[in-house]
């Protein structure tokens, strides 16, 4: 219980664009579901305007291309995405006036399609049997055919660069002069871990970086190299990949952006996580901490809890939570979360005489 009413004072600035609100996401302490011997913080990327970490790379891909003359005024942008990058690009393109076409496998949640479309994007679905490689190749075909700008989130240097310039710097500032023993993150494109790794390895060499991936799509753990085209694009799907429920994590290839982390050993341990554990921890974060995040966030937190089991007493851990839970309404995250009243809720309703439902 707080001693007095909470107050706010404003941010002491007004923003010229929604894009200026990207980044500077809060680090929040976990108070109820963390282990007693470790202090756990989470960096909640749902506070970005598009509600995910991918807003960062989206704005940098577009603005770097503008600066370098690779993106022309009014040119259509096209990209393959499982959803969050597409939502981020749709937000950026809406603010800047670029048409956007997104290609996405039809296995991803319908909420993602609707969010991109309300932001003005066109969404082209590809067969789920062709996996992420299929939607990637469709985007490349469209770019070649129509002269569109291909965002190339999985290969572009602009991805990890923005995490080096923003995400990593925010972490250093938030833990300036304070202990930070672990950073835990998953990977989709690999931009977050690569950008953070570049900075943390130099500035905080004693901080261990824990990487995680789905246990049934353990591409890194397999040790099998990713076949690539000359430009770094995947030549084919990775043989260790299997379908998993952690949307936004681990496509069916190892992205070139992630390859830098593998080559330069930007992580100290790898902890695979089953999808069911990710869902369970997402639900606990919502119900017991009030932190409403997606399945990938829950899976990252699950890996953190496993790492905490062997952490020394007094350790401090930061867990990256990539997105909000609202774009998972049609996924297993909400399985069993009913629309109508439960028996318990009906019992509460009947405990007083008025305003009864049938």
- Indicate whether 264 and 280 sit together in one domain: yes
Catalytic residues: 54, 296
- Indicate whether 202 and 121 sit together in one domain: no
- Indicate whether 309 and 175 sit together in one domain: yes
The count of domains in the chain is: 2
Residues 327-341: pLDDT tens digits?
999 999 999 999 999
β-partners of residue 212 are 271
pLDDT at position 82, please? 84
User: In which domain, by residue range, is 185 found?
Assistant: 18-47+166-334
pLDDT at position 357, please? 87
Contacts of residue 333, Cβ cutoff 8 Å, sequence gap at least 6 = 279, 282, 283, 294, 295, 298, 325
pLDDT at position 1, please? 67
Q: Is residue 345 part of a domain?
A: no
Q: Are 97 and 105 in contact (CB under 8 A)?
A: no
Residues 218-241: pLDDT tens digits?
999 999 999 999 999 999 999 999
Q: Domain of 174: which CATH number?
A: 3.40.50.1100
pLDDT at position 278, please? 97
- Indicate whether 191 and 284 sit together in one domain: yes
Q: Is residue 43 part of a domain?
A: yes
Q: Is residue 118 part of a domain?
A: yes
- Indicate whether 185 and 317 sit together in one domain: yes
C-alpha 88/C-alpha 357 separation (Å) is 41
CA distances from 339 to 41, 280, 307, 325, 335 (A): 32, 20, 36, 17, 11
- Indicate whether 209 and 84 sit together in one domain: no
- Indicate whether 302 and 206 sit together in one domain: yes
- Indicate whether 259 and 293 sit together in one domain: yes
Which residue, of 119, 150, 181, is where some domain finishes? Answer: 150
Q: Is residue 283 part of a domain?
A: yes
pLDDT at position 108, please? 84
Q: What is the pTM of this model?
A: 0.94
Q: Are 308 and 315 in contact (CB under 8 A)?
A: yes
Q: Is residue 22 part of a domain?
A: yes
Q: Is residue 39 part of a domain?
A: yes
- Indicate whether 65 and 22 sit together in one domain: no
pLDDT at position 97, please? 98
CA distances from 318 to 52, 68, 255, 282, 342 (A): 17, 35, 24, 16, 37
pLDDT at position 358, please? 78
Angle (nearest 5°) at CA 194 between 110 and 312:
100
Q: How many helices (H) and strands (E) does the chain have?
A: 12, 10
Positions of the chain with pLDDT lower than 70, given as ranges: 1
Contacts of residue 17, Cβ cutoff 8 Å, sequence gap at least 6 = 95
Residue whose C-alpha is closest to residue 244's, from 108, 79, 53, 51: 108
Q: Is residue 3 part of a domain?
A: no
- Indicate whether 122 and 221 sit together in one domain: no
Q: Are 168 and 195 in contact (CB under 8 A)?
A: yes
β-partners of residue 321 are 44
- Indicate whether 206 and 187 sit together in one domain: yes
C-alpha 292/C-alpha 289 separation (Å) is 8
Q: Are 126 and 108 in contact (CB under 8 A)?
A: no
- Indicate whether 311 and 172 sit together in one domain: yes
């Amino acid at each position: 219980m707080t001693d007095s009413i909470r107050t706010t004072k404003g941010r002491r600035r007004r923003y010229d664009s929604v894009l200026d609100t990207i980044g500077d996401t809060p680090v929040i302490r976990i108070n109820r579901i963390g282990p007693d011997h470790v202090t756990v913080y989470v960096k909640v990327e749902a506070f970005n305007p598009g509600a995910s970490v991918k807003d960062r790379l989206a704005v940098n891909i577009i603005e770097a291309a503008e600066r370098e003359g690779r993106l022309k005024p009014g040119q259509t942008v096209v990209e393959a995405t499982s959803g969050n990058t597409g939502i981020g690009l749709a937000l950026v393109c809406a603010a800047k006036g670029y048409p956007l076409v997104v290609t996405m496998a039809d296995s991803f949640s319908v909420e993602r399609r609707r969010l991109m479309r309300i932001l003005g994007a066109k969404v082209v679905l590809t067969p789920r049997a062709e996996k992420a490689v299929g939607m990637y190749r469709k985007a490349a075909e469209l770019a070649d055919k129509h002269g569109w700008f291909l965002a190339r989130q999985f290969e572009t240097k602009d991805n990890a660069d923005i995490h080096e310039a923003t995400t990593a710097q925010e972490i250093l500032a938030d833990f300036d002069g304070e202990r930070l023993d672990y950073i835990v993150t998953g990977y989709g494109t690999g931009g977050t871990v690569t950008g953070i790794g570049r900075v943390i390895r130099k500035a905080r060499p004693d901080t261990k970086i824990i990487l995680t991936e789905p246990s049934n799509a353990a591409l890194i753990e397999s040790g099998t190299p990713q076949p690539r085209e000359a430009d770094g694009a995947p030549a084919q799907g990775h043989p260790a990949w299997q379908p998993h429920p952690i949307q936004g994590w681990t496509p069916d290839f190892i992205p070139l952006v992630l390859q830098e982390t593998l080559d330069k050993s930007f992580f100290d341990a790898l902890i695979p996580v089953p999808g069911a554990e990710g869902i369970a921890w997402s639900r606990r974060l919502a119900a017991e901490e009030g932190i409403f995040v997606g399945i990938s966030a829950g899976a990252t937190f699950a890996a953190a809890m496993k790492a905490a089991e062997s952490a020394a007493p007094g350790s401090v851990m930061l867990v990256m939570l990539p997105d909000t839970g609202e774009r998972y309404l049609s996924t297993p995250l909400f399985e069993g979360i009913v629309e109508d009243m439960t028996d318990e809720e009906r019992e509460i309703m009947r405990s007083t005489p008025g305003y009864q439902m049938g």
